[in-house]
Amino acid sequence: MGKYVIKRLLQLIPVVLGITFLSFAMMRLAGGDAVTYMYENAGTAVSQEVINEARAEYGLDQPFLVQYGKWLKGMLTGNLGESYVSHQDVAASFAAKLPATLLLADEPTSALDVTLQKQVVEKLLELRKEEGTAMAVVTHNIGVVRAMADQVLVLKEGCMVEYGRLEEVLEHPKEAYTRQLLSSTLTLRRAKEEGEGR
């Protein structure tokens, strides 16, 4: 019985290797270079140097058989979603490398202390300046709005209440709900300052 099992396993190995090799070859030949494909479909121009650096980081500049061996190891260990060079999640890593044209930030400073809030805002502003990234920031923090926004949209229960340039909405609000939001913020700040003065 033992010899039969061993014999069958030995017969199965070349079959598995053949199927996996053909699968890998078809993915590479039919699908092309994944890094080049991702950058070409990112919607913005990227230099060949950047593409080559990314290919090297993911091991796509290595010989075909070396890539296949690492891919096979990842398949057998169940790590198909990870890069076999950097051992990071491929999708997340790709997303971080692609130039962002629009960033959606939902409460980016929520539940953070003042120091961390400042760091987050500075990082987002740096990204906007260096990459030209447009941002849509959802926040209840008027300080974040003042620091980051060019245009302000005030919502109540999912419906638009007021929209306009930062200075217009915050300094000369037209709607009662907007004035209520701003006055409650000022009241809290005033109450805090009075408490510190005692």
- Domain match, 129 and 143 both: yes
| Average pLDDT taken over every residue of the chain | 77
Q: Is the pLDDT of residue 185 over 50?
A: yes
pLDDT of residue 41: 67
Please tell me whether residues 64 and 147 are part of one structural domain: no
Last residue of a domain, one of 58, 76, 97: 97
The pLDDT assigned to 188 comes to 41
**pLDDT at position 2:** 76
Do 177 and 117 lie in one domain? The reply is: yes
What tens digit of pLDDT does each residue of 128-150 get?
887 777 889 998 888 889 888 99
Residues 42 and 78 in one domain: yes
What is the CB neighbour count within 10 angstroms for residue 117? Answer: 18
- In degrees and rounded to multiples of 5, residue 78 shows phi and psi of 80, 20
Q: What CATH number has the domain bearing residue 140?
A: 3.40.50.300
Directed axis angle between helix 2-31 and helix 64-77, to 10°? 120
Residue 60: pLDDT above 80? no
Cβ distance 138 to 106 under 8 Å?
Answer: yes
Does one domain contain both 79 and 116? Answer: no
Mean pLDDT of 89-113: 70
Residues 72 and 120 occupy one common structural domain: no
Residue 114 and residue 192 share a domain = yes
Question: In terms of domains, do 72 and 89 share one?
Answer: yes
Domain of residue 63 covers: 2-97
Same domain, 78 and 149: no
Higher per-residue confidence, 31 vs 184: 184
Q: Are strands 151-156 and 159-165 parallel, antiparallel or unpaired?
A: antiparallel
pLDDT in tens, 18-28: 887 887 777 76
Number of domains in the chain: 2
pLDDT at residue number 191: 46
Question: CB of 177 within 8 A of CB of 154?
Answer: yes
At 80, the pLDDT band (50, 70, 90 cuts) reads: low
Residue finishing a domain among 63, 82, 97: 97
Q: Out of 97, 124, 141, pick the residue that ends a domain.
A: 97
| 50 and 80 fall within a common domain | yes
- C-alpha 156/C-alpha 154 separation (Å) is 7
Contact criterion met (CB below 8 Å) for 77 and 68: no
SS (H, E, C) 151-194: EEEEEECCEEEEEEEHHHHHHCCCCHHHHHHHHHHHHHHHHHHH
Confidence band (pLDDT; 50, 70, 90) for 30? Answer: low
Note whether 90 and 148 are same-domain residues: no
Q: Say whether both 106 and 173 belong to one domain.
A: yes
